[in-house]
Structure formats: C-alpha cells, structure tokens
Amino acid sequence: MNILVIQSSSQDPIGVLGTRLESQGAQLFTWLIEQEPSAPSIDYEGLIILGRTTSAQAHQHLPKLNTMVELIQCFHHEDKPIMGICLGAQLIARAFGSKVHKHAIAELGYSPLLLADRTAEEPWLQNLPSNLNLMQWHFDTFDLPDSAQLLMTNYICRNQAYRIGRKIYGFQFHLEVTPEIVMNWLARKNAWIKSNYPYLDGELTQQVKVYSKRSEKFAYQVADAWLSLVAESNIWAA
C-alpha cells in the first residue's frame, strides 16, 4: 500500500503515526515540499498531509498550499483515503469550501479531548479515556465543512477531529508526535511564544512525561483504522 505523505517542514515529520503504518505494511513516500519541487510520480492508495506553523491561508509564503488543496480534491474524486493533521486538517476544510482563520487564542501543549458525537462508530473513539490529552501547536482554526461530522472537540478550540464521508479525516491536534518532536518544537519556539507563554518549557516538559504514552496508543489505533480503509479501497479497485 503506497501512501503519499506531504511534509511541509523538516521539523514536522510523521513520527509514531508513520512507524505504525509501516509496521502494518504501508510504504510511505514523503514529499518534503520545502526541498523537493514535486512528489514522487507513482500510484498512491492514500494521502496524509502533515502540519506546519504556516497558516493554511499563507499562499504568498507557501505557494504549494494550493497544490495540496488540489491533491486533496483529486484523491477525494478517486475515492482514496485522506488524513490531515493540523495544517492538513485545515487544508481539507479549505478543499471542501470552508474558511481557515485565526483562533482567539493559541493552543500550545497537551490539552484534553472530548467525544463530540456519541453515535460515531470509529473504533478509536470507543471507550476513550477521560484523561486523553493530545499535543496541540496551532494558532488557526477552521469552519467545519457542511459535509463533515465533528468527532472530537475540547473547551479551547471546537473543531478538533472530523470525518467527511467514510475515508477523509482531519485532526487539529498532533497525534503523530514523539517526545523528541515536541522538544524540538519547544527549542525552536519564536519570540512571540517566549513572551506570551513564559512557562511553556517547564509545563510541556512535564506534560510529555505524563501524556506521551497514551498519545502514542491513540495514534496506533487511528493508524490501524485508517489503513484498513486503504486496504478496503484496494480490494474494491482490484
């Protein structure tokens, strides 16, 4: 199963999500758009778009945002599974006609997630622990597309996880992170974060110790369920 992974920054790799997908038989082809002009030209069965601190509206700074939106629409037209994380979730919303905009506050660090729809049948949503905290690092949010079903939420930013149809998922939070990825982001935080979140280093260092194992387990569950959609699509296409 060939999966195209769009990575917008060298600081934002696919982490534990990729580890799990590869262990389950997926072959990942990463397009690092800040270094490579185009994706490897092969046939893909699924698409994953990772995050970046750049806004989904910043066309002038990252012209390939429009290319990513077009790819989302192409994979959707071909009925292939898609997953978007942070920026990726925002770009999926854009691809389905919704707006991305600044959120009232930045959401940085691990925050608690809540089930938004008790009728949702996703296996990774069943029996969610009451203390599930997942990594956040975003300044924007998005309007939920009309065709989307909201799956997860929290008290800081409403739209946290959603599904469109059966095969498209958007996650505002970073389910893919390892402790090393989080610490790298923390080390590279900008002057605005340093000024407005002066205690973030200590808080996030402690949060990683407490929440990273639960986050990893959640990522594995999502990876397994999403990859089953890829396998199912291959059966029908055969």
pLDDT tens figures, 157-186:
999 999 999 999 999 999 999 999 999 999
Q: How far is Cα 186 from Cα 140, in angstroms, rounded to an integer?
A: 18
CATH class of 2-237: alpha beta
CA terminus-to-terminus distance, the chain: 13
Summarised one tens digit per residue, pLDDT across range 117-130 is: 888 899 999 988 88
Catalytic one among 45, 76, 86, 157? Answer: 86
Mean pLDDT, range 8-27, rounded to an integer: 94
Mean pLDDT of 85-89: 96
Q: Judge whether 74 counts as a catalytic residue.
A: no
* Amino acid letter, residue 145: P
Alpha-carbon 238 to chain mean position = 29
What is the maximum alpha-carbon separation in the chain?
Answer: 55
176 is catalytic: yes
Query: Is the confidence at residue 109, as pLDDT, over 90?
Result: yes
pTM beyond cutoff 0.85: yes
How far from the centroid of its chain's Cα atoms is residue 234's Cα?
A: 23
Helices (H), 120-199: 179-187, 191-196
Domain ranges in the chain are 2-237
Note if 86 is an active site residue. yes
Q: Which residues pair with 166 in a beta bridge?
A: none
Whether residue 116 contacts residue 152, with contact meaning beta carbons closer than 8 Å, is answered with yes
* pLDDT over 70 at 24, yes or no: yes
SS3 206: helix
**DSSP run (H or E) holding 84:** strand 82-85
β-bridge mates for residue 135, sequence order: 110, 174
Catalytic residue among 107, 138, 174, 216: 174
